[in-house]
């Protein structure tokens, strides 16, 4: 854990591979690889580290965690979501952050957390699921908009659960979406991209995302009802 704490960036967030590698102007040099030479801190990774710290018994008063929470709050979009670097996109980032905040002991009743929960509920599709197009990396106004797929539906549900929303119409419709689309073999299939290689450059489909994230969401839902 000491190594992880040592990787915190000056602003309070965490990146994937390096600390404070954030001089974004270097992405504009002619030989910049996909315009992604650097490794700035991101909301999803910072949320992950908060979740690790909370799992190991640290609290929001722990200085590195307090800095990370302040960074997270500053990075939140006005509507409520957070950007997702490694999964598509704001649904992924929002779920990652909410899980981290819950684990580190932040009160889910706080307005900024409930604002994120309201955003997730607002993005729910008519079929009860959630989806987001890769186009949201080019057009942030498309955050949370796209045809429903199982993995993104599971992320949204897990985010709601972390924010203390474990009952209600949005949750029940989301659970019904997952149950209705489970295949005879017990698994789910994503029809669209769900992973991010380099934003705005190339995207990935992790086939197992559609299998274990829905199962995870259903398990948390069932546990909350026990």
Query: 86-118, pLDDT tens digit by residue?
Result: 999 999 999 999 999 999 999 999 999 999 999
What is the percent of the chain where pLDDT is above 90? 83
Q: Is the pLDDT of residue 226 over 70?
A: no
Instruction: Please list the residues that pair with 39 across neighbouring strands.
Output: 21
pLDDT per position as a tens digit, 34-77: 767 778 899 999 999 999 999 999 999 999 999 999 999 999 99
Q: What is the pLDDT of residues 174-190, one digit of tens each?
A: 999 999 999 999 999 99
225 pLDDT more than 90? no
Residues 6+ apart with CB under 8 A from 226: none
Angle separating helix axes 63-75 and 43-55, nearest 10 degrees: 150
Domains of the chain: 2-225 (1.50.10.20)
Residue 224 has pLDDT above 90, yes or no: no
- The answer to whether the Cα torsion of 152, 155, 161, 164 is positive or negative is negative
Contact 131, 149 (CB under 8 A): yes
Using the predicted structure, report yes or no on whether residue 24 has a pLDDT greater than 80: no
pLDDT digits (tens, 9 = 90+) for 133-162: 999 999 999 999 999 999 999 999 999 999
């Amino acid at each position: 854990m000491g190594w992880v704490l040592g990787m915190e960036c000056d602003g309070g967030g965490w990146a994937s591979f390096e600390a404070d590698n954030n001089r974004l102007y270097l992405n504009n040099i002619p030989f910049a690889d996909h315009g992604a030479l650097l490794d700035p801190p991101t909301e999803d990774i910072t949320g992950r580290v908060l979740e690790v710290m909370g799992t190991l018994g640290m609290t929001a008063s722990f200085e590195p965690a307090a800095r990370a929470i302040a960074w997270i709050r500053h990075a939140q979009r006005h509507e409520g979501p957070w950007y997702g670097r490694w999964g598509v996109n704001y649904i992924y980032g929002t779920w990652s952050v909410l899980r981290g905040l819950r684990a580190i002991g932040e009160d889910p009743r706080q307005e900024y957390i409930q604002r994120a929960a309201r955003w997730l509920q607002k993005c729910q599709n008519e079929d009860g699921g959630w989806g987001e197009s890769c186009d949201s990396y080019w057009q942030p106004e498309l955050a949370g908009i796209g045809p429903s797929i199982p993995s993104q539906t599971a992320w949204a549900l897990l985010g709601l659960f972390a924010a203390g929303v474990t009952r209600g119409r949005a949750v029940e419709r989301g659970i019904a979406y997952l149950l209705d689309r489970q295949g005879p073999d017990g698994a789910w299939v994503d029809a669209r991209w769900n992973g991010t290689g380099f934003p705005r450059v190339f995207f990935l489909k992790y086939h197992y995302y559609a299998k274990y994230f829905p199962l995870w969401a259903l398990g948390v839902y069932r546990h909350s009802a026990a």
